[in-house]
Amino acid sequence: MELLNSTLKNIKPVDESWYAIAQKHLDNLTKPPGSLGRLEEFAGQLVAITENRSPLLDKKVIFTFAGDHGITEEGVSAYPKEVTPQMVFNFIRGGAGINVLARHAGAEIVVVDIGVDYDFGELNGLINTMKVVKGTRNFAKGPAMTGKEAIKCIEVGITIANGYAKKGHKIFGTGDMGIGNTTPSSAIAAVLTGNPVAKVTGKGTGITDESLMRKIRVIENGIKLNKPNPDDAVDVLAKVGGAEIGGIAGLVLGAASNRIPVIIDGFISTAGALIAYCIEPKTRDYMFAAHNSVEVGHTAILAEMGLKPILDLGLRLGEGTGAALAMLMIEAGLKIYKEMATFGEAGVSNEILN
Which residues form the interface with its own copies (CB under 8 A)? 29-39, 75, 77-80, 82-83, 86-87, 89-90, 93, 95-97, 99-101, 103-104, 205-208, 210-211, 294, 310-317, 321, 325, 328-329, 331-332, 335-336, 339-341, 345-349, 351-354
In whole angstroms, how close is the CB of 222 to its own copies at the nearest point?
18
Closer by beta carbon to its own copies, 4 or else 317 = 317
In whole angstroms, how close is the CB of 30 to its own copies at the nearest point?
5
Closer by beta carbon to its own copies, 135 or else 246 = 135
In whole angstroms, how close is the CB of 75 to its own copies at the nearest point?
6
Q: Which residues, 6+ apart, have CB-to-CB distance to 7 below 8 Å?
A: 158, 253, 254, 257
DSSP string, 123-168: -TTEE-S----SS---TTTS-SS-HHHHHHHHHHHHHHHHHHHHTT
DSSP string, 251-306: HHHHHHHTT--EEE-SHHHHHHHHHHHHH-GGGGGGEEE-B--SSTHHHHHHHHHT
Other C-beta atoms closer than 10 Å to the C-beta of 328 total 16
β-partners of residue 288 are 263
Closer by beta carbon to its own copies, 20 or else 313 = 313
Residues acting as catalytic residues: 319
Q: Hey, is 88 helix, strand or coil?
A: helix
Radius of gyration of the chain (CA): 20
Q: Hey, is 51 helix, strand or coil?
A: coil
Half-sphere exposure of 109 (CA within 13 A, CB side): 32
In whole angstroms, how close is the CB of 96 to its own copies at the nearest point?
6
Closer by beta carbon to its own copies, 10 or else 342 = 342
In whole angstroms, how close is the CB of 3 to its own copies at the nearest point?
35
Cβ-contact 250, 150 below 8 angstroms = no
β 108-115/262-264 pair status: unpaired
Closer by beta carbon to its own copies, 13 or else 206 = 206
